Amino acid sequence: MPTKATRSAISEGRKGVGPLIPPLTESQRPLRQQVFELVRAAGLIPRVQLAKDLGVSPASVTTMSSELIEAGLIEEVSVPREGEAGRGRPAVSLGVRAGAHLVAGMKLSDREHTAVVVDFAGKLIADEAIPRRPGPMQVDEILEAIQTLLDRVCDKARIDRAQLSGVGIGLPGFVDCAEGIALWSSILAERSVPVAALASARLGIPVHIDNDANLVALAELWFGAGRSLSDFAVVTIEHGVGMGFVMNHRIYRGAQRLGMELGHTKVQLDGALCRCGQRGCLEAYVADYALAREATTALNWGHKESQPINVLLESLYDHAKAGNSTAKSIFRRAGRYLAVGLSNVVNLFDPALIILSGERMRYDYLYAAETLSEMDNLTIQTGRPRPPIEIHAWGDLLWAHGAAALALSAVTEAILATQPRDLAAE
């Protein structure tokens, strides 16, 4: 029987307390989606192993896998039993039906644009790259470049553009992936451009966009060192400084999808001018345009300002390797600022791994022993080792692969959302 206090609480309409957790969270994806994602991650996997890994009954897995097979998303593959070649019926595993869908991924950058076509299992079919002129581009120019590059990579893949189920595009700057808008990008002359909608209308294919550093993290999560890690950070250094962060096996973007802008964290009040328009950003001391600016001033290279920035940087690197103290000090200063940024990543997020990626990772001064020692000095001293740091100096195709993974995710989720509702796990 309710007590007087309980009756009072009821009559007052007292509200509950504690977190209001939605009934379907990221960690509670539909069973059908979990089955598909595990099959895709494994490559080939028996039903019995699926049930064991998911913690559900074999009957539930049979039901879900049958629906996915009927939908044309996965298929049964005969696998010879180990040590029993030619004897008895081969074992049957499940795998993604590679030909079910094709997607393209692109990276639009300050130097060149790259693209890949991959099948539904993530296998590379074709790749292509086209150079671009320096400086920001008008919207029509960027759309023309997207179409030209897509048509060329499709020609290499020997497919028609209409055969693609989706296109993912990565570009530098502040990108709202949910809205498909580039709020600001170094490669665009205009702000708040609805790139996804404009490109989709131009191509006749669903287009999804994201910040390019997020897509490097996505590439590592899908194809690289991050596949087995729940939390890791990717810091990219090219024309700018970017960061992608994976938390609980998912890209973390922030409340407004604009987070993780490491390059625009402030390391010097009223400091050097950043291309974003503000002063004192980390990027303004580490990115390639910052190194070129320092070289032009400190080495009196005003006569080289007309050179392409990559040529100027190669010359600076050669001078540093040859022992030029001024050139070495430019890289050393950039490395110290990078150490500040990396120590802040460790202190804030405590990732399992930090991956340094991008074209500038060819310049080993940026991650020399002095830089890592400086980072250690700036990291909170707990007596425990700092996260390991790996250098992945891969080319732009890695970024394009991340864009393809973005498209694969979108296509998969759209398809699974239209399938019959999940049956309750038994």
Does residue 3 lie within any of the structural domains?
no
* Confidence at residue 423, expressed as pLDDT on a 0 to 100 scale: 39
* Confidence at residue 424, expressed as pLDDT on a 0 to 100 scale: 37
* Confidence at residue 425, expressed as pLDDT on a 0 to 100 scale: 39
pLDDT tens-place string over residues 308-333: 787 888 888 888 889 999 989 999 99
Whether the Cβ atoms of residue 331 and residue 366 lie closer than 8 Å to each other = yes
- The residue whose two tokens read 């890949």 is 116
* Confidence at residue 20, expressed as pLDDT on a 0 to 100 scale: 60
Does residue 222 lie within any of the structural domains?
no
Same domain assignment for residues 232 and 367: yes
Low-confidence ranges of the chain (pLDDT < 70): 1-28, 81-90, 303, 305, 393-396, 418-426
* Confidence at residue 361, expressed as pLDDT on a 0 to 100 scale: 74
**243: CATH:** 3.30.420.40
Q: Which domain holds residue 283?
A: 227-394
* Confidence at residue 279, expressed as pLDDT on a 0 to 100 scale: 96
**73: CATH:** 1.10.10.10
Does residue 9 lie within any of the structural domains?
no
Same domain assignment for residues 285 and 371: yes
**Interacting residues of 201 by C-beta distance below 8 A, sequence separation 6+:** none
| Torsion angles phi and psi, residue 210, rounded to 5 | -160, 165
**Interacting residues of 3 by C-beta distance below 8 A, sequence separation 6+:** none
Same domain assignment for residues 265 and 382: yes
* Confidence at residue 26, expressed as pLDDT on a 0 to 100 scale: 52
Q: Which of 23, 105, 89, 38 is nearest to 68 (CA)?
A: 38
Same domain assignment for residues 130 and 170: yes
pTM: 0.85
Same domain assignment for residues 107 and 83: no
Same domain assignment for residues 210 and 248: no
Same domain assignment for residues 247 and 367: yes
* Confidence at residue 52, expressed as pLDDT on a 0 to 100 scale: 93
Same domain assignment for residues 136 and 264: no
Does residue 190 lie within any of the structural domains?
yes
Which of 40, 68, 96 is the C-terminal boundary of a domain? 96
Cβ atoms within 10 Å of 328's Cβ, excluding its own = 16
Which of 52, 75, 96 is the C-terminal boundary of a domain? 96
Does residue 357 lie within any of the structural domains?
yes
Give the span between the Cα atoms of 184 and 386, in whole angstroms: 34
Same domain assignment for residues 209 and 345: no
Domain count, the chain: 3
Does residue 10 lie within any of the structural domains?
no
CA dihedral sign, ordered 406, 408, 409, 410: positive
Same domain assignment for residues 262 and 366: yes
Which of 50, 75, 96 is the C-terminal boundary of a domain? 96
Does residue 179 lie within any of the structural domains?
yes
Same domain assignment for residues 253 and 387: yes
Does residue 421 lie within any of the structural domains?
no
Same domain assignment for residues 153 and 170: yes
Q: Which of 352, 361, 357 is nearest to 401 (CA)?
A: 357
